[in-house]
């Protein structure tokens, strides 16, 4: 039986890819696999068996392997300590989804600092309403961000000066 040239070509390509992957991992043909150094005092003293060397193939991805964008961004946010700020930023962007359309028409988040969310209302009546709803808002925000991210809501009313007229309360 004569070998199929197409199958031989595919096998040669697969072997070349496997060799290139081994070379990239640091495995060189004809060399013994690298042994893992003893990690504990007992292993160094010979009291316990050394840990087995890791196999050449590992399920753990290499640093230069492609990864999903969400995993890459999540890793960057965690590494830089920006995860909480990004979550709070999402609250600012999805305010209407979190508090509902009616409340979102009259309020907006202004700032977040040290666990305190500042919300501004467009009238004193809505400011009072938000103050009364603060416990429910904190519970809803904890569902979105995780418990303890926001522990206080400060509400501000409109920033217009009082109207001057003939009659004034003194």
Residue 150 sits in a domain whose CATH number is 3.30.300
From CA 133, how far away is CA 127, in angstroms rounded?
A: 10
**Residue that wins the pLDDT comparison between 60 and 142:** 142
User: Is residue 63 assigned to a domain?
Assistant: no
Q: What is the mean pLDDT of the chain?
A: 74
User: Is residue 96 assigned to a domain?
Assistant: yes
- Tally the domains of the chain: 1
From CA 113, how far away is CA 11, in angstroms rounded?
A: 61
Unique residue bearing structure tokens 């809501």: 153
From CA 46, how far away is CA 52, in angstroms rounded?
A: 14
pLDDT at 72 over 70: yes
Whether the CB-CB separation of 110 and 118 falls below 8 Å is answered with yes
User: Is residue 16 assigned to a domain?
Assistant: no
pLDDT at 10 over 80: no
Range of the domain at 120: 72-156
User: Is residue 18 assigned to a domain?
Assistant: no
Q: What confidence tier does 141 reach under pLDDT thresholds 50, 70, 90?
A: confident
From CA 137, how far away is CA 91, in angstroms rounded?
A: 12
């Amino acid at each position: 039986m004569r070998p199929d040239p197409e199958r031989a070509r595919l096998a040669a390509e697969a072997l070349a890819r496997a060799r290139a992957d081994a070379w990239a991992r640091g495995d060189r043909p004809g060399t013994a696999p690298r042994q893992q150094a003893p990690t504990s005092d007992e292993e160094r003293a010979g009291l316990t068996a050394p840990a087995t060397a890791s196999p050449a193939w590992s399920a753990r991805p290499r640093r230069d392997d492609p990864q999903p964008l969400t995993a890459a961004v999540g890793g960057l946010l965690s590494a830089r300590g920006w995860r909480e700020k990004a979550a709070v930023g999402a609250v600012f962007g999805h305010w209407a989804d979190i508090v509902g359309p009616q409340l979102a028409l009259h309020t907006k988040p202004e700032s977040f600092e040290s666990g305190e969310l500042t919300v501004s209302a467009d009238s004193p009546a809505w400011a009072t309403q938000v103050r009364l709803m603060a416990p429910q808002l904190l519970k809803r925000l904890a569902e979105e961000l995780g418990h303890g991210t926001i522990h206080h809501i400060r509400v501000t009313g409109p920033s217009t000066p009082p109207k001057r007229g003939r009659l004034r309360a003194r």
